[in-house]
Amino acid sequence: MANLNNFNANQVEPTSDFEPIPSGKYLAVITESELKPTKAGSGSYLQLTFQIIDGEYKGRLLWSRLNLYNSNATAVKIAQSELSAICRAVGVLTPKDSVELHNLPLEINVKCRKRDDSDEITNEIKSYKKQATATAQPQPASQMTAPWRRGS
């Protein structure tokens, strides 16, 4: 039970249906992580919540589930490879806790796919990369202005 402090829905616009975002590359951060039991109860997965931090879809959330503890060795190997890509993208190669991956920007490659159970279109994160940074190009010495000559 939670105290809602006299919340009044008449004063707040309701959310609308969230359509999937278009396939593409987005700058994001991990905002939450939680180890959850699998549906079968025979293992657990790490659920990561990603929030887009730039552009038209800023604030939108996406999720990734990594089957790190599972009786299916292939699922574990895929999850470990995906976690390795995330760790490399955020620059934390040996995290002891998933919280160490939070709030560090990375580029996610998002695809749209049709769900098998409902034919609904959903988003899926296909890859993780280090945030692309704009590198300043050095200015040739012949084009540089001496500090004492600037503004004259």
Confirm if 81 and 52 have CB atoms less than 8 A apart: no
Q: Could you tell me the CA-to-CA distances from 137 to 131, 132, 133, 134 in Å, in that order?
A: 18, 15, 12, 9
pLDDT at 136 exceeding the cut of 50: no
pLDDT of residue 34: 96
| pLDDT tens track for 96-105 | 999 999 999 9
Fold for the domain defined by 19-132 = OB fold (Dihydrolipoamide Acetyltransferase, E2P) (2.40.50)
Domain ranges in the chain are 19-132
